[in-house]
């Protein structure tokens, strides 16, 4: 029997009527002859609420208990989806992560898949079940505890199941009808793409385009999963949405194909640190041990004998991180300072920054993209605080209040509204 994976995100299962709407889409595929694995998210807003409860209860929470709480939203929708399908005479059964079992690493709140044994679900399909509904976002650690995969992780559950069960396709149903040149909520000029290359989607996702979780794109690329994003609120057929595919399957590639943003960024600067071998390793080793995800890093040029407190040369170090990790980072740095492992004169935290990035495979062979980007930002009077580049992306950190303006200015500067 051919098999499809269909994933429904939070807004697509936000209430009972929407679960019914999603179930109707599933039933249609069953009627076309597919066995279906449905992956569900929690109802929209639910995971945020659960995270809020954890943070209120314990600001520097135990990650194992965080996972125990935040994984629960998906359990509810999985059961409700199975019941809804049963009411429509579709033989369906739900699975929580541990029941499959979805084996992951024990990196709580950022776990990775280790294995997804097929036996339990295949046995039920063989007995006549048509739809397996699996709770997204969660798994089971080697220690037998519940894990979660990081925010947006149900996308990754869907792709992992598509790979494990050799699905014909992995359809990600969401509240937009595909992948756009930028977030359609930020720019009315955003244009829907018919296809996007894995590498580009990978960059867009890792730079903040939350339409797909980064890891889901990585897995799809590695296991060659046909991955599609489409609307759960519109009538859809096999040509709907956006296909994420290999670069060779795309006829034209623009220099820049998308603009991404990440709103909740912060910037920390350590002023006047010693400039000697091992200092970066001391700072970032401390942060890594505390589980802080550092993103961009800039070190100033050294200045000799700048400060009496530090004989020899000194420098400043700036790095960016998600705002919700600032407290953790500050505590780690303070602790290292108290133990004498780290010396600096001043620590400045700026929690009002955002990251805006342009992405495109065409950048590999075109010069001048950075110049065009910086010119577009300067025309709007937007100051750039930190710059980072890679082969197919350029990112800048700017004041958060200019984020929307920057996205729109870059979308215009690279003429993304024009059809391919
Ligand atoms: P779900 O709950 O279905 O997983 P998400 O909210 O995680 O949905 O992702 C869908 C959202 O991603 C859209 O509503 C849109 O605002 C946002 N988004 C950001 N960048 C893009 C983009 N380039 N194309 C489409 N949607 C995008
Ligand atoms: N419910 C989880 C979240 O909001 C996982 C997901 O929806 O993909 O992050
Ligand atoms: Mg999502």
Q: Compute the distance from residue 277 Cα to the ligand 3 centre, in Å.
A: 42
Question: 3-state SS string over 250-270?
Answer: CCCCCCCCEEEEEEEEEEEEE
151 lines ligand 2 (CB under 6 A): yes
Pocket test for ligand 1, best of 136, 188, 210, 263 (most atoms within 8 A of CB): 210
Say what the pTM is.
0.92
pLDDT at 337 exceeding the cut of 80? yes
73 lines ligand 2 (CB under 6 A): yes
First-to-final CA distance of the chain: 37
Residues 104-112 have a mean pLDDT of 96
β partners of residue 361: none
Q: Compute the distance from residue 74 Cα to the ligand 2 centre, in Å.
A: 8
208 lines ligand 2 (CB under 6 A): no
pLDDT at 420 exceeding the cut of 80? no
pLDDT for position 310:
65
Task: Report the nearest atom of ligand 2 relative to the CA of 9.
Answer: 7
pLDDT at 83 exceeding the cut of 90? yes
Ramachandran class of 144: left when φ > 0, alpha when ψ lies in -120 to 50, beta otherwise: left
402 lines ligand 2 (CB under 6 A): no
pLDDT for position 306:
55
Lowest mean pLDDT among 235-239, 249-253, 283-287: 249-253
12 lines ligand 2 (CB under 6 A): no
């Amino acid at each position: 029997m051919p098999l499809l994976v269909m994933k429904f995100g939070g807004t697509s299962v936000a209430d009972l009527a929407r679960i019914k709407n999603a179930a109707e889409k599933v039933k249609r595929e069953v009627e076309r002859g597919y066995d279906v694995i449905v992956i569900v998210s929690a109802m929209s807003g639910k995971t945020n609420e659960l995270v809020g409860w954890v943070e209120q209860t314990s600001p520097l929470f135990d990650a194992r208990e965080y996972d125990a709480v935040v994984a629960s939203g998906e359990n509810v929708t999985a059961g409700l989806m199975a019941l809804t399908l049963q009411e429509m005479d579709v033989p369906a059964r739900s699975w929580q992560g541990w029941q499959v079992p979805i084996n992951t690493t024990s990196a709580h709140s950022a776990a990775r898949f280790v294995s997804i044994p097929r036996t339990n679900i295949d046995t039920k399909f063989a007995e006549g079940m048509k739809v397996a509904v699996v709770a997204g976002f969660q798994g089971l650690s080697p220690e037998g505890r519940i894990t979660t995969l990081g925010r947006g992780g149900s996308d990754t559950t869907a792709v992992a199941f598509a790979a494990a069960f050799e699905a014909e396709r992995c359809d990600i149903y969401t509240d937009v009808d595909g992948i756009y040149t930028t977030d359609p909520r930020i720019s009315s000029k955003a244009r829907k793409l018919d296809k996007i290359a894995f590498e580009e989607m990978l960059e867009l996702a890792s730079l903040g385009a939350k339409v797909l979780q980064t890891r889901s794109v990585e897995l799809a690329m590695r296991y060659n999963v046909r991955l599609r994003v489409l609307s759960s609120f519109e009538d859809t057929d096999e040509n709907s949405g956006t296909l994420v595919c290999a670069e060779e399957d795309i006829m034209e590639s623009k220099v820049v194909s998308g603009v991404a943003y990440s709103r909740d960024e912060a910037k920390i600067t350590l002023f006047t640190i010693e400039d000697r071998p091992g200092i970066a390793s001391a700072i970032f080793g401390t942060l890594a041990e505390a589980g802080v995800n550092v993103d961009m890093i800039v070190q100033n040029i050294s200045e000799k004998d700048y400060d009496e407190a530090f004989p020899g040369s000194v420098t400043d170090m700036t790095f960016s991180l998600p705002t919700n990790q600032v407290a953790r980072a500050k505590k780690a740095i303070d602790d290292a300072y108290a133990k004498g492992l780290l010396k600096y004169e001043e620590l400045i935290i700026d929690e009002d920054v955002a990251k805006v990035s342009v992405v495109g495979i065409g950048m590999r062979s075109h010069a001048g993209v950075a110049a065009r980007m910086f010119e577009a930002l300067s025309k709007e009077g937007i100051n750039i605080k930190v710059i980072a580049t890679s082969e197919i992306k350029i990112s800048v950190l700017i004041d958060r209040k200019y984020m929307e303006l920057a996205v729109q200015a870059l979308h215009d500067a690279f003429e993304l509204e024009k059809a391919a």
